[in-house]
Structure 1
Amino acid sequence: MGTKKLTQGFALSSLFVCMSTSAIELDKSQSTLALIETGCAYGRGAAAVEAAKADGLNQLRLFLQGESSLSLSSSDNELFNDSYSESQRETLVSGISQGLVKADFGQPEIQGDDTCVTVRIAPTASNNEDDFGDDVEWSDAPTMSVVVTGEGQHDAQTGLTARQVAEQDAFRRAISQVLGVMVKSGYLQQSYSEMSATSASDDFNLVEVARQSLSMQSQGMITGWSEISQQRLANGTVTVTLDVTVEREQVESRIARLISSLGRPSVYINARLPVVKTTFSTALADMGFNLSSQPAQASIILNVREQEKVTPSGLQLEMAASVVDRAGNQYSSWRNDPTFMTLPNKPGMLNELAAIHLAVEDNQHALKAQLHQAVQKMAMQGGPVRELIFSQKAAGQQGRLYSLLSAIHGVSDVKLKSQSGKVVVQLRSMSDAGDLAQYIEPSLQTHQPGYQSRMTVLNEYQLSVL
């Protein structure tokens, strides 16, 4: 396929994050070309500073994914493509999503009601995440042993010591290294058989999605570890080198669940005509998709617009479908050719037309490909949109809540809004709702130590916090 290059302009997609025109700069002052962006957040204090850092990193992530626009001269465009290969961009995106990227932050500045921070990142000389080592092989053994190095500093927000942060960093790297071994062995590709090659997008990276999905879940897959060395630097950073034991079956189980969710997403069909909804439901069920009776319980929503067309020859049915998520972000679309079939303009003919159009193999293939493509795009952007519905008391200080949730590995595109007297947090995550609740609860305890919140999983995409 060749190496992909960034073009001089990128289309701005309608994502969670509301972005203005990108202010990203190219820093040519050093031997390595760096990217600089300014992130801003409303308010003052430490919480606003952390939120501004998260905003800057997120804008850089979107730029590296080609999701925000930046005009470059021909020379700058060539320089960028030479400095940032496809694999380096993917590594940086992965690092930002998982909280592993090393960024330089400027001093906070006040701009009106906002606190703003400059964020600087540069490509790494080598990709340690993909340095799997020839001595590690994927086999039928119940466990795998990998040696990794993690680093960290004291996290005042979560209360974790530098040592604890370094250990968590090492655990995440261990999981990432195991995923790399799976790729080299061919196991991951062999397991990815539910989605056909025709429905797999060139931009879809299963390994990256797997890393996003598993980045929060190292606790369940690591059965033990032993320390090889530890070092404390003058700036308070602790580095640890650990021999980590990873349970193979747990990794395979998590990957199987991930592939199942990608291959058999839950779909809600929103159609005006009952016959169209019924016909679509039958067709999608036959294609292997899971159907949801409510939008809140679906990963994607298929909005179908039907239009009856009366022609001199008879009755036709035009159908146009858009694939969106619960936040309204559109990922793909499909439409039929209404001229393919014309029937007499009589009662009951719409039923026949809908059934005939969806029975056509080409239509089924195209619709299935668009639905799979939508799920792939959603996964590459961080996963399905999920909602945390907070009471005002449980939400507490919203700026601090935003910062804590944004700092959770595997969580991205956090957005807060008030709705019916509640604080609704929308975010992306590849983790199941039950797993997500486990990872969020410690942050809520740190958020308001004196308040005992109660979290309830309402469905796979909604959690209530009182």
Structure 2
Amino acid sequence: MGTKRLTQGIALSTLFVCLSSSALELDKSQLTLALSEQGCAYGRGALAIEAAKAEGLNNLRLFLQGEVSFSLTTDDSLLLDEQFNQETRDLLISGIAQGNVRADFGQPEIQGDDTCVTVRLQPPASELSNGDDGIDWADSPTISLVVIGEGKSDSKSGLSARQAAEQDAFRRAVSQALGVMVKSGYLQQAYSNMSASTNSDDFNLEEVTRQSLSLQSQGMISSWNEISNKQLDNGLFAVTLDITVERQKMEDKVAQLIKSLGQPSVYINAQLPAVKSSFAEALANMGFDLSPYPAQSSIIIDVKETKKVTPSGLQLELIAVVRDRAGNQYGTWRNDPTFMTLPNKAGMLNQLAAVHLAVESNQQAIKFKLHDSAQKMAMRGGPVREIIFSKRAAGQQGQLFTLLSAINGVSDIKMTKKSDKVVVQLRSLNNANDLAQYIEPTLRIHQPKYTSKLNVLNEYQINVL
């Protein structure tokens, strides 16, 4: 499994001597021992919460693999070795890696600029799934998985406990299927043509893909059968389902995501027509999609052109700031104006712009900035998208904000009033068509007696009347 093995007869605690994990502790408050760890992620909203959960689980995985330590008494060391033996550790490590381990998550807490979640992990029960063992991504058009989902009734989403458990099972099934895809090498191979993919240390393609697929998990499931169900404590309901995941539908969703990362829609904002046309031609030759309007783009390039007249002639300085539609900046590119000097005559700026943007090193630098920006946006939750509400469709804005925040995969929600409209900006890895499918039932909960009409204007905007 790629995990570290313990030498027989050596206590688990003796291995953990190198690093320190001050937030990790043993939870002995219940009959079964548990490991407790806090995970934190920058930002607010659903994406930050999921990232904090993933961080906490990953810290626990590192501990179980013997890569971090914390101080234990002799009694606690014996207790830990007894309940978290090598076989148990291997099951948990594998389950965390595949996204199907059952962990308890505390309520999110705000700590400065971070969102933190406490993760509690117990030894696995006998029904812990072994995930993708024996499944090959290329074996057949479908993948059959048996998963356990848990949930409780939620008035915000309008789901009963059973429905919430089923939705949880669907997400777990897609997550496990993604594990099969990753293990096969398909995911990385599909992304291998992205030149910036190996240069961004903070970019995690698997995590971004998991976030993107989580919102639309049911759309990749062709059928499912219930095996068993069980009422748990605290209003939780558990259901075991045999779920069939469509391989082609997953591949299509992944291809759509990779295209959005590799070919983001770009709008060029430049004062000089010559500079704008030169940028447009250069970006088109690099394979990027160009947008005629800022509202229909995921990335905006603001170009500042400075005409420099020197004793030897005319030079052009270009500074390109890469940002999104909400004004968040992701990078800056500058040329070397001294690279080319032309006579100070009419039409020379056009030639200077064309020459600078034809230089291969400049093209590669711009391409990297755009790919890097798309990756950073994905890690923050996706491009900024807009939902434009009429006042009647918006209703009580506080409640609307709460309901939209509860949609899985949506984050960084901002609401503003513009004339007679309420404009909601949010981040989502899913395009407007997919997003609209999940917003529509939310609006029915928001105003049961009012039938909203959704119209997808483009990939980034939805109009609601």
Which TM-score band (shorter chain)? 0.7 to 0.9
Native 8 Å contact 1:136 1:146 kept in 2: no
User: 1:200-349 residue pairs with structure 2 within 5 A?
Assistant: 200-349=199-348
> Contact between 1:316 and 1:339, CA under 8 Å: does it hold in 2?
yes
**Residue pair 2:382, 2:428 contacting (<8 A) in 1 also:** yes
Q: 1:103 aligns with which of 105, 112, 118?
A: 105
The 1:285/1:185 distance shift into structure 2, 3 A limit, reads same
- 8 Å CA contact retained: 1:384, 1:429: yes
> Amino acid of the residue matched to residue 142 of structure 1?
P
**Aligned equivalent of 2:152:** 153
Partner-residue secondary structure (3-state), 1:235? helix
Q: C-alpha distance in 1, partners of 2:199/2:123? A: 28
Counterparts in 2 of 1:371 and 1:101: CA distance versus 1, 3 Å: farther
1:17-36 alignment to 2 at 5 Å? 32=35, 34-35=37-38
Query: Structure 2 CA distance, aligned partners of 1:381 and 1:56?
Result: 11
Q: Is the deviation greater in 377-386 or in 233-242?
A: 233-242
Determine the C-alpha separation between the residues in 2 that align with 1:63 and 1:256.
27
Give the letter for the 1:353 counterpart.
Answer: L
Residue 149 of structure 2 is aligned to residue 121 of structure 1: no
Aligned to 2:423: 424
* Alignment correspondent of 1:132: 131
CA contact (8 A) 1:57 1:119 kept: no
1:220-263 per-position Cα deviation (integer Å, ceiling 9, x unaligned): 21011112221101322111111110111111111111111111
Q: Secondary structure at the match of 2:211?
A: helix
Q: Say if 1:228 and 1:196 are closer, same or farther in 2 by CA, change over 3 A.
A: same
CA shift, 1:409, in A, is: 1.1
Return the offset for 1:153: 0.1
Counterpart-to-counterpart distance in 1, 2:198 and 2:283: 15
Identify which range, 337-346 or 293-302, moves more after superposition.
337-346
Which amino acid in 1 is paired with 2:213? L
Task: Map 1:158-177 to 2 at 5 A.
Answer: 158-177=157-176
1:81 & 1:328 partners in 2: Cα distance?
39
Amino acid at match of 1:454: K
- The aligned counterpart of 1:15 is none
8 Å Cα contact 2:157-2:445 kept in structure 1: yes
Can you list the C-alpha shifts for 1:31-85, whole angstroms capped at 9, x where unaligned? 8554499xxxxxxxxxxxxxxxx9577666677899xxxxxxxxxxxxx9768xx
Query: Cα 1:338–1:175, aligned 2, differ >3 Å: closer, same or farther?
Result: same
Q: Which structure has the greater CA radius of gyration? A: 2
- Kindly provide the CA deviation profile for residues 383-440 of structure 1, in whole angstroms up to 9, marking residues without a partner as x: 1100111111111111111111111111111121222232111111111211111111
SS in 1 for 2:450: coil
> Structure 1 residue 126: deviation in Å?
8.7
Contact 2:39 2:54 (8 Å CA) reproduced:
no
Tell me by how many angstroms 1:347 deviates. 1.2
Structure 1 residues 434 and 336: alpha-carbon distance in aligned structure 2, compared to 1, 3 A threshold: same
Matched residue type, 1:336: N
Alpha-carbon offset, residue 459 of structure 1: 1.3
Residue 359 (structure 1) aligns with = 358
Residues 279 and 243 of structure 1, relative CA distance in 2, 3 Å threshold: same
2:436 is matched with 437
Contact 2:385 2:425 in 1 (8 A): yes
Structure 2 counterpart of 1:212, one-letter code = Q
How far residue 443 of structure 1 moved from its aligned partner, in angstroms, is 0.3
Q: CA deviation at 1:141?
A: 1.1
> Kindly tell me: are residues 125 and 359 of structure 1, through their superposed partners in 2, closer, same or farther at Cα, counting changes over 3 Å?
farther
- Letter aligned with residue 230 of structure 2: Q
| CA distance in structure 1 between the partners assigned to 2:315 and 2:358 by the alignment | 16
Aligned pair in 2 of structure 1 residues 27, 194: CA closer, same or farther (>3 Å)? closer
3-state SS in 2 of match to 1:158: coil
Contact 2:319 2:332 in 1 (8 A): yes
Structure 1 residues 374 and 456: alpha-carbon distance in aligned structure 2, compared to 1, 3 A threshold = same
How far apart in 2 are the matches of 1:365 and 1:263? 14
Deviations 1:309-357 (A, max 9, x none): 1112211110011111100011111110111111111111111110110
Cα distance, 1:101–1:310 mapped onto 2, change above 3 Å: farther
TM-score normalised according to structure 1 size: 0.77
Tell me if the contact between 2:432 and 2:460 (Cα under 8 Å) persists in the aligned partners.
yes
Structure 1: which amino acid aligns with 2:118?
I
Q: Deviations over 1:247-296 (max 9, x none)?
A: 11111111111111111111000001000000000000000001000000
Deviation at 1:105, TM superposition (A): 3.6
**2:189 corresponds to which residue?**
190
Deviates more, 1:27-36 or 1:307-316: 27-36
- Contact map agreement 1:150 1:239 (CA 8 A) in 2: yes
Distance 2:106 2:53 in 1: 17
Between 1 and 2, higher relative CO (CA 8 Å, sep ≥ 6) is seen in 1
Structure-2 change in CA distance of 1:64 and 1:238 (3 Å): closer
Letter in 2 for 1:122: V
1:442 to partner: Cα distance:
0.3
Which secondary structure state, in structure 1, belongs to the residue aligned with residue 463 of structure 2? Answer: strand
**Residue 411, structure 1, aligned to residue 410, structure 2:** yes
Q: Deviations over 1:78-116 (max 9, x none)?
A: xx9768xxxx9xx99x99xxxx9853349x9xxxxxxxx
Kindly tell me: are residues 56 and 211 of structure 1, through their superposed partners in 2, closer, same or farther at Cα, counting changes over 3 Å?
A: closer
Decide whether aligned partners of structure 1 residues 130 and 417 sit closer, same or farther in structure 2, where only a CA change above 3 A counts.
farther
CA shift for structure 1 position 366? 0.4
Cα RMSD of the aligned pairs, angstroms, is 3.4
- Supply the distance in 2 between the matched residues of 1:352 and 1:382 (Cα, whole angstroms): 39
The TM-score, its normalising length taken from structure 2, stands at: 0.77
Work out the CA distance in 1 between the residues paired with 2:197 and 2:132.
Answer: 33
The code of the aligned residue for 1:456 comes to: N
**Does the CA contact (< 8 Å) of 2:196 and 2:368 recur in 1?**
no
Aligned residues: 396
SS in 2 for 1:245: strand
Amino acid at match of 1:360: V
Check the 8 A contact 1:222/1:244 in 2, yes or no. Answer: yes
Q: Alpha-carbon deviation of 1:159?
A: 2.1
**Separation in 2 of the partners of 1:391 and 1:332?**
35
